[in-house]
Amino acid sequence: MRSRKNYKRIVVKVGASLFAGKKNKLDTSLAAGIACQISGLIKEGKEVVLVSSGAIALGMSILKLTSRPKELARLQAAAAIGQHELMHVYKLALKKYGLNCAQLLLTWDDFLGLRYHNAKNTLNTLLKLKCVPIINENDTVATEEIKLGDNDRLSALVSILVGADLLIILSDVDGLLDRNKKIIRRVTKITGEIKSLGCPTSKNTCVGGMVTKIEAARIAVEERVPCVIANGAKKGIIAKVAQDPFSEGTIFLPK
Ligand code: GLU
């Protein structure tokens, strides 16, 4: 196991399902908890990059839609309506701890060539400024994550881009479950058996599910970034996993 002090730069991915509260009401109090934990980590000298979904979920709430639109253009419109609201929620939550945040809307094409270097330089500068970068897919021009990803794979690409020590994917499940619904604590090799444990989500507000989380973990560990899938609804989960990535959920380890 790597020593604690090595987990300095951490990418945290927040899934859209976490923003969907009971009866399709949005649970924005989630942002308050996230901000509190991020502030604690920054005080300890860690650097945190947030990859957050929720634009479509918030857009749906503003438009009073109870089920996820089927048409792609409507999903993109909902994302455009919800994205600035999502940032507003995070901005207010982080401000309470004296932290600034920055919005970065990326697409998969931005992880190639000159764009990759530009994104990397911006992110590194924001971290030096002790600002919290908040990344989402640019849903107006790209649709990979809207269609099936919920930003899982985007978060893996981001963790590689920033040279993260740890990727934490927060969802509404406790981790990867085996066929007896028992949590698998440690994955050292992503075999066909592990992949077969993934199943898409059945929620009507979001996409993704365990399939894309396992794929994100595969992308991350191949580039030597350990990845933890944990339940974002648990109190203090980010702080706990950042201190000890073996303490909660499922950890995927690089070779
Ligand atoms: N970019 C999307 C969002 O923020 C990803 C999640 C989704 O498709 O629901 O909502």
What residue's CA is closest to ligand 1, atom 8? Answer: 146
Domain annotation covers residue 4: no
Shortest-distance atom of ligand 1 to CA 52? 4
Domain annotation covers residue 201: yes
pLDDT band at 255 (very low <50, low <70, confident <90, very high): confident
pTM beyond 0.85: yes
Tally the domains of the chain. 1
Q: Which domain holds residue 136?
A: 9-252
pLDDT at 208: 57
As a whole number of angstroms, the distance between CA 49 and CA 32 comes to 16
pLDDT band at 18 (very low <50, low <70, confident <90, very high): confident
Domain annotation covers residue 1: no
What residue's CA is closest to ligand 1, atom 6? Answer: 150
CATH number at residue 206: 3.40.1160.10
Shortest-distance atom of ligand 1 to CA 53? 4
Look at residue 123 and tell me whether its pLDDT is greater than 80: yes
Percent of the chain with pLDDT over 70: 91
Domain annotation covers residue 2: no
pLDDT at 146: 79
* Average predicted confidence (pLDDT) for the chain: 90
Domain annotation covers residue 220: yes
Domain annotation covers residue 133: yes
pLDDT at 23: 56
Domain annotation covers residue 3: no
Q: What is the mean pLDDT of residues 220-232?
A: 97
pLDDT at 2: 47
Kindly list the protein residues whose Cβ atom lies closer than 6 A to any atom of ligand 1: 16, 53-57, 79, 136-137, 139, 145-146, 150-151, 206-207
pLDDT band at 203 (very low <50, low <70, confident <90, very high): low
Q: What is the mean pLDDT of residues 49-73?
A: 93
Tell me the CA–centroid distance for residue 255 and ligand 1, in Å. 31
pLDDT at 86: 94
Using an 8 Å Cβ cutoff, are 167 and 204 in contact?
A: no
